[in-house]
Structures are given as structure tokens and as C-alpha cells.
Structure 1
């Protein structure tokens, strides 16, 4: 059996993994995945890079630069035989269940629960398979809102599209837009939509909420943003500005230690914390927008997001 691809593995920390996930373009000819290897241990994560070409010194150096904590650690380099490495990478991803939803990979097919919905989301180069606490927590939060009515929904930082798909199931008459700053994520969502027979979601590549297509459809009565704490703080005025009065806002991608900073940023824009779900070190927030539509006190300038990398 011939060598088809190569895998490089390095240890990393959660902070490094988050920075890698948030990066727009790593300029490395490889598919990079990060994994929590010890639950709720911020220091014990792993970077896996898959390449069709045998990794040379330049690629190894570029990968090591992404994970400074691994300085001195020898990278594990292994050839992969003529097998589908994506299937191999998914072998350990058991189905997860949240409320009426089940999320599974091709390696672990499962029937939907009675009255529920199963989504096939394979691991790939976009975040949001449902196996991370932030994504599964958002699923649970959305499931708890099923008795409410929403007409205009936006999922910002959609990743694989999973949360937009769940919204489409819960509110079949709603208009739904899903956005991501990464074109690869939007492509993945398009493929996943076909796989899961989701036909009525509008997908766009967008940085934040300032795209004309987003503002033209505003205001939204349900806003979902599963990204990172830094972007959430920076984007609070943007998100509040596209919300209807009393809109529901679901925020995730933040550690519990970052919760106060995120909540304070949204409270400054008229939002109020309604509930939260703590999952290990991660927290999912349910906020409501103010009783009147928020108007930013100054024009929103996307160049002001330089603080995204701030360690909150």
C-alpha cells in the first residue's frame, strides 16, 4: 500500500489552538486540526497537520512557530497509507446528543431521536462538528428556545453550519443567514447543507456584521455568534446594532474567566444577561437586547478590531 499523505503532530496549549482556529490564512500547505487531549486541561492540546506532500524543514518550522509552547519537542511525523485520513481522524468522534439533536460523523451513523433531527457533520477544515463544548452548548441553548418564535436569524462565524441547520429545523418559517470570515468555512457549510438536505439558508463570506447583505436584512430577532471572546467584545456594538428590540442573543467561544468582559461589553450596548451554561471551562451566554433598538454612539470601524487577540 503506497503512501498517500503525511501527518505531523505537535503538542500545544488551548490558547495556541484558539489562535490557530481563529487565523484567516496560515499559509501552510496542510489541513490543520487542533484537539483537546485532556478534558479541561488548558496545557494539554494537540496540533495535527495533514499534507499530501512529505513535510520538509520549512513546513516543520512553520508549524513549530504556531505552537511556541512546544519548543524543544520533536514533531511526530508519520506517513499515511492509501486510506482516507479524514475518516481516520473521525474514528474517535462518537455521536453527541443535545436536546432533540444528534450530531454524528460518517464513521458513526445514527438515527435521529423521536421528533428530533440528526446532522451528519464530518471533521474537516472548519470549526463546529458539535464535539466542542461551545458548539454543543449552543445546540442545547437553541433547543431550549424551541417554544419561542423567531422570524429573522443570523449565525455569525458559522463554521460547519451546524447551528444554522439546527435553527432551520426549529424555526422552519424563519429567514436564516449564516456568515463566516473564512471562505473555506462557507464552502464547508454549503457542502454540509447539501448532505443534510438544508435548502433555505443564505450563506455569505463576511467580516463581522458590516457587509451590505447583513445590514440590509437587519434587524434580527435571534443572533448566534460562536466565535472567540476578543471578537465578541470588539463586535458588541455591531451585534447590538443589528438586533431587534428584545432580540435573543446567543454567544459562545469564551472561557468562563472571560465571561464578565463579554457580558460587560454587551451590557454597555443595552443587552442583559438572561442565562448561561457552563461546560467545563467554557461558558455559553443567553442575552436579550434592549427594549429599544441600539444605535452606536460612533460609526463602527472594523479597523478597531485590532484588540481581537487581547487575552481577556
Structure 2
């Protein structure tokens, strides 16, 4: 039966973090997985919702249940009304104030002195509420507060465009490229850019840097990638190759337990880790590219991109 369906079951925070890190089922089509903290600061009281665009069969339900082995509860399955469940899942999120940015999904009064960014609940994730995205906003704001200036910026895996918009506000004269592997995300970014009065972004549908338009605009003096640990490691040579000598590289979407592997991948490409912003179990990394532009030893290998996620 067609339509929107949801499978729900309790999970733990550890299980939720594993899911957020890309440890999902091998299903086709892949459902959208959303984890929610049910009770504040209670590691045992989380919830997993899996959204399907068709009625899930027994094998799909079992695959979702396997993501939360700690629970004895049976998954609940329900058909949703013919409405936009992504919008519903994001609607009502409290506004987020990070540095000089005030991010909101609906009508909200922007505090005096803050820069409002309206990211409508909709077809792509990336409202700034996850630790990885709020950490990137804080890092970008901190760079500007410290007097850093950038002329060429790229946001890899832009999602809703939020980080690209923030960079555009902080460095209005910079040439900014925003990419995503998902064409829908680029459409959403374009819509959000119009809604926020952001002009001049170069939007590209691309798998990492594997597009001539991405490399033609290189080198970049600020490279942003808020995705997942697997793709970050896979793309280390690519991101290092498009970075200008001494460029700043901002990485997020990784758990603290994955930080060593991510840092090692970039260190091998001549980058130097500078700072780590630990936010609960997530980490936001700032690195500096090598003094000379990195030249990869061979062609890029897209292996490892499984589990690519939109901006969270």
C-alpha cells in the first residue's frame, strides 16, 4: 500500500548515536531515520522513528528493530496522513541562538543585534539544532570575531544551505560555493537563499568534489564539510586538494570516538588539527591545510561515501 508510513520503537542514546553516525539498515528504498531524546539527559529514554514512502514489510520492520537491540518493545507501525511528514517533524523546533545567528523554522522575533536565518521545515534536514551544525555556526562566528577573512568558501553537503548562508553573512565579499549530492537539497538551498535574501551562491549537485565546477573554482581558503565520519575520511584527499595552502578546514558530523580516524585521514594529506569543539558525544574539528597545496597520488576513490547524510 502506498503512502507515508512510520515505524517507531524505543532506543538508547548509544543506539541513536550509532544510527546518526550512519549505522543504518541496508534497505531499498532506504527509510529516513529520525532519533529523538524523549527524557532530557536520560541515556535510556530515546525514540527511533523510521519513515517509509510505502508500507514496510516484515523484513523492513525487523531491520529497523535490529537497530535498537536493547529494547524488548515491539515496533509500532502506523500509516500517516497524506501530509509532509518531514515538515511536521521539524515544525515547532525552538529557535536557536548561536553567536550572532538566530536560526528559526517559523515566525519568531529576531533578538536585537542578531542575524536571523529562517530555515523552513521541509524537504531537507539542517535547521541548526543538531550539535554538529550549531558547532559549525559557533566556529564560523568565532573565526569572524577573531578577524579572520576568507575570499573563497565551499560548503560540502550543504543540506538546507544554513552554513553557506552564515558564511555569506560573515564574509559578504567572498565567493561561496555550496554543494550536495542530493538534488533536492540544492533545490531547498536555492529556496532558502531567496527567503533569506542571500545572493550570489554557486550551487552545485556533486558527489564530494567530483564535479568540474567544484574544482574549477578551487582553491578555497575555507572548506566546510558537515556530513558523516565515513565520507569525511573518504574525501580527505579531495578536500585537501581543493584547499589553498594554509586554508581553514571545518569538519563536523563525526562522533568523538571517530575523531582520531578523521584527523589521521587529513593529517596524511598534510593538514594540521587546530581545535576540537566537543559537544556531547559529537566533535567539530578545525584544521589547517598544509603550507603547500596537496597533490593527490592518484584518482579519487568514492568508496566510503555510504551513509552520506544531509546537514543535521
Q: TM-score range by the shorter chain?
A: 0.7 to 0.9
Aligned twin of 1:16: 19
- List per-residue Cα deviations over 1:37-84 (Å, max 9, x = no partner): 156749834224275xxx6353x6435424523477433344656877
Distance 1:201 1:122 in 2: 18
| Equivalent residues in 2 for 1:119-158, closer than 5 Å | 119-146=117-144, 147-158=147-158
Residues 144 and 208 of structure 1: CA distance in aligned 2, closer, same or farther (over 3 Å): same
Q: CA deviation at 1:98?
A: 0.6
Q: CA deviation at 1:210?
A: 2.1
Name the structure, 1 or 2, with higher relative contact order (CA <8 Å, separation 6+).
2
Aligned twin of 2:310: none
Confirm or deny: 8 A CA contact 1:37 1:46 kept in the other structure. Answer: no
> CA-atom RMSD, angstroms?
2.9
Distance 1:230 1:84 in 2: 30
Residues 295 and 233 of structure 1: CA distance in aligned 2, closer, same or farther (over 3 Å): same
Residues 20 and 159 of structure 1: CA distance in aligned 2, closer, same or farther (over 3 Å): farther
Confirm or deny: 8 A CA contact 2:91 2:121 kept in the other structure. Answer: no
Distance 2:180 2:23 in 1: 16
Distance 1:99 1:195 in 2: 21
Asked if 1:37 is matched to 2:40, the reply is no
Q: Give the structure-2-normalised TM-score.
A: 0.83
Aligned twin of 2:169: 169
Residues 20 and 94 of structure 1: CA distance in aligned 2, closer, same or farther (over 3 Å): farther
Residues 67 and 213 of structure 1: CA distance in aligned 2, closer, same or farther (over 3 Å): farther
Distance 1:64 1:22 in 2: 10
Distance 1:268 1:81 in 2: 50
Aligned twin of 1:69: 67
| Equivalent residues in 2 for 1:45-124, closer than 5 Å | 45-49=47-51, 56-58=55-57, 61-62=59-60, 64-70=62-68, 73-78=73-78, 85=85, 88-106=88-106, 109-114=108-113, 116-124=114-122
Q: Give the structure-1-normalised TM-score.
A: 0.83
- List per-residue Cα deviations over 1:1-51 (Å, max 9, x = no partner): xxx96544234532234437899x9526x7x35123156749834224275
Structure 1 unaligned blocks of 5 or more? none
Residues 85 and 227 of structure 1: CA distance in aligned 2, closer, same or farther (over 3 Å): closer
Structure 2 unaligned blocks of 5 or more? 308-312
The total of aligned residue pairs comes to 295
